[in-house]
Amino acid sequence: MNFEVIIDHKEKAYALLKADAKKILKLIKVQMDNLTMPQCPLYEEVLDTQMFGLSREIDFAVRLGLIEEKDGKAILDELEIELSILHEASIRK
């Protein structure tokens, strides 16, 4: 594999992981807006399952050398911050 192909795969992996994080945020937002409140066990189950899945994807990408561990952690940290803001906003309603 040449260097450009490796860089392309790394960029795609990072972009896909970021997109998955955005999907989780959107899913949780829809759930909070239309279905359940953050105190609901269903909400917590969905959130836990989605976050676990994303963390496994990130771990796999790190093990393949497609992203750095710090970048994967940053994706999770950013998503957790956004989810926390969303949670706080829903409580204030």
Q: What is the pLDDT of residue 55?
A: 97
Which tokens is 51 given? 């976050």
Comparing C-alpha atoms, which of 85, 86, 84, 56 is closest to residue 72? Answer: 56
The span from the CA of 15 to the CA of 20, in Å, is 9
- State yes or no: pLDDT of 11 exceeds 90: yes
Domain spanning 21-92, CATH class: mainly alpha
Give the burial class of 32: count Cβ atoms within 10 A of its Cβ; 0-12 exposed, 13-18 middle, 19 or more buried.
buried
> Maximum CA pair distance of the chain?
53
Give residue-wise pLDDT tens across range 13-66. Answer: 999 999 999 999 998 888 777 765 656 777 778 889 999 999 999 999 999 999
What is the pTM for the complete model shown? 0.84
Q: Which residue has the higher pLDDT, 6 or 70?
A: 70
Q: What is the pLDDT of residue 20?
A: 97
Which tokens is 19 given? 């997109």
